[in-house]
Every structure is written in C-alpha cells, then in structure tokens.
C-alpha cells in the first residue's frame, strides 16, 4: 500500500494544508515497514524549468528538466536516503521555490513553515548600460561585482558593491563606449552565486 503526499508548489496555503493532512500517514507503520514513496505535485510548471533535490550541504542529488508545461506529478522513493535534511528546489525563470524535508527513522516529514521563495537577480543590458534588479524580502547581504575580460582571457573586477538591509535593489551601471569587449556580472546572494555574461 502506498501513502501519497501531495504538495502544491505555487500556493503556500495549499502546501501547508496538504503537508499537515498527510504528515501522519508518512509516519504510520504498515506490515512492520515504512512506506517512503512520496508524490510531489507542481502547479504552473513551464517547459525548461528545473527540479532539484539537494542535501543540507547544497550538493545536488537529483536534477530534472521539465519537457512540458502544466501540472506535473513527480514520484520519489526515499527509502535509500540516509537520515538527514534535504530540499526540493523548483527553479523558475526569476525565482526558486525551496521545500525542505527530513528523513529520519524510516519517516519523511516536510518542514512546511521553512518553505521559502528566493528571487533571482535580473540583469539586462541596453545601450551600454547594465540594469540590475534583485528582490530580497529577507534583506540578506548581497555583493555585486562587475568584471571585464582582459587581453589574456582573464576577468578583472572593475566595480564591486555591497548591499545590506535592502529589500529591493535597483541599479544601473553605465559602461564606456570605448571599452568594448566581454563582461560578466557576479551576484552573491541567498548563499548562492549568479553569473551573467554579456558583451558590448
């Protein structure tokens, strides 16, 4: 017999209700064994988006690229996972939904109150101007570095900026027409590193 847990990744209220409704099923015994098969339902999936399972150290254990849009069911058997903390990550174009769960003593439990949405930085280039926007409702520290590729194919930092206690970062960086070439912008935020390459 399989016990199924369904989570909605788009609506936190729905996710909370599903997790609370089915958590007891995950911890119950059937014929002296634990059923560790979980079904994760993702709503509003777009083709090309990614689903990851990561451990507490951020190491990727599983990656899937969706080849269709709509509502997608994903079934996992966690019986071989060691005890520990893990995360589902549904990566969209501009955000990442993080769903933490724990494996312990043959049980899978979801930590619904710790679910969060991470907003990815958005970088656009127009007329030699770089536009950066980053929504960070938790106001964590953010570092932005702009690098230029030199003649020996290495990048050197030409500008760096730190942001603290800022919920909505909006910046425009103007580049000289004389400095054509390859650039990259590195944004460190949310314990992650985002890199954007571009040329002028």
Q: What is the pLDDT of residue 35?
A: 57
Q: What is the pLDDT of residue 88?
A: 96
- Listed in sequence order, the residues at least 6 apart from 198 whose beta carbon sits closer than 8 Å to its beta carbon are 123, 125, 130, 182, 183, 184, 185
The answer to whether residues 118 and 95 touch, using CB atoms and an 8 Å cutoff, is yes
Cα separation, 160 vs 140, whole angstroms: 17
Reading the block at residue 167, the tokens are 């919920």
pTM of this prediction? 0.70
Helix runs in the chain, H state only: 12-26
Residue whose token pair is 């507490």: 56
pLDDT digits (tens, 9 = 90+) for 52-97: 999 999 899 999 999 999 999 999 999 888 999 999 999 999 999 9
Compute the radius of gyration of the chain from its Cα atoms: 21
- As a whole number, the mean pLDDT across the chain is 81
- Comparing CA positions, the residue from 35, 19, 24 lying closest to residue 111 is 19
Reading the block at residue 76, the tokens are 């996992």
Q: Which residues pair with 101 in a beta bridge?
A: 86, 110
């Amino acid at each position: 017999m399989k016990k199924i847990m369904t989570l909605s990744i788009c609506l936190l209220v729905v996710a909370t209700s599903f997790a609370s409704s089915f958590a007891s099923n995950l911890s119950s015994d059937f014929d002296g064994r634990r059923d560790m098969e979980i079904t994760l339902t993702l709503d509003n999936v777009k083709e090309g988006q990614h689903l990851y399972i990561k451990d507490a150290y951020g190491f990727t254990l599983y990656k899937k690229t969706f080849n269709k849009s709509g509502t997608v069911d994903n079934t996992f058997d966690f019986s071989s996972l060691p005890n520990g903390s893990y995360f589902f990550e549904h990566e969209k174009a501009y955000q990442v939904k993080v769903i933490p769960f724990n494996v312990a003593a043959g049980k899978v439990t979801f930590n619904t109150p710790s679910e969060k949405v991470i907003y990815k930085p958005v970088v656009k280039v127009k007329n030699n101007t770089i536009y950066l926007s980053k929504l960070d409702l938790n106001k964590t520290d953010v570092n932005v570095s702009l690098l230029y590729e030199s003649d020996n194919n290495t990048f050197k930092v030409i500008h760096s900026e730190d942001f603290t206690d800022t919920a909505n970062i909006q910046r425009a960086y103007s580049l000289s027409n004389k400095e054509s070439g390859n650039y990259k912008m590195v944004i460190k935020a949310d314990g992650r590193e985002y890199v954007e390459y571009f040329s002028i």
